[in-house]
Amino acid sequence: MSDSTQDFIQFAIQKQVLRFGEFKTKAGRLSPYFFNAGLFYDGESLMKLGEFYAAAIIRSGVQFDMLFGPAYKGITLAASIVIALARQGHNIPFAFNRKEAKDHGEGGTIVGAPLQGRVLIVDDVISAGTSVRESVNLIKASGATPCGVAIALDRQERGLGALSAVQEVQEQHQLPVVSIANLHDLIQFLENSAELAEFKPAIAAYRASYGV
């Protein structure tokens, strides 16, 4: 686990974006932890979040020309990431979509830079892969090329079959998925934290039941 990943997990816990307890997932499972990137809702949090994403993206080596943030969470994520990249000397354009097409002004569903070249999709997590599928279709329809997906946390949890949601995206769309942290990193973090060690058995048991 990189220092950046460890710092991100600590940061998410401090901001109560990553919480422990008992939470019902969309799949109806009782999860011992919950991650909600929508709770990064102040300037400092978004600034740091963008820096964590930028570090993971650069570390991955994925080559891209611009970012695309699917509405709604992807919008602020993409904006924070391009700001972080610009601070490092990489001035990258970004775009996002509207849920409903605008019928006046410039019209259309895409806001920001024209979708062109290699487009990296950014989102918080991948659950059912619906957001990625819609983004891929939008990007291809614009004549651009989806080149990967960047997310905050990979739960490494089985979907409907033997693969995780992330693995399904990688297989169906032939795209690399970059994450700041994953479930393995979280368990390793808990092992090294006396304060949070009590939560490790429940998360380890959950991984044994639903992990990949």
List 90, 102, 140, 184, catalytic entry: 102
Residue 182 bridge partners (DSSP): 154
The verdict on whether 104 is a catalytic residue reads yes
**Catalytic annotation present for 102:** yes
Q: How far apart are CA 165 and CA 55, in angstroms?
A: 23
Strand 108-112, strand 118-122: pairing: unpaired
- The two tokens of residue 198 are 């009590």
Helix axes 3-14, 183-191, angle to 10 degrees: 80
| Three-state secondary-structure class, residue 206 | helix
Residues 166, 3: Cα–Cα separation, whole Å: 23
Separation of alpha carbons 152 and 55, rounded Å: 11
- Give the Å distances, CA to CA, from 190 to 101, 162, 186: 45, 26, 6
Neighbours of 114 (CB within 10 A): 12
Strand 30-35 versus strand 18-24 pairing type:
antiparallel
Secondary-structure percent of the chain, ordered helix, strand, coil, rounded to 5: 45, 25, 30
**Catalytic pick among 15, 24, 26, 104:** 104
The catalytic residue positions are 102, 104
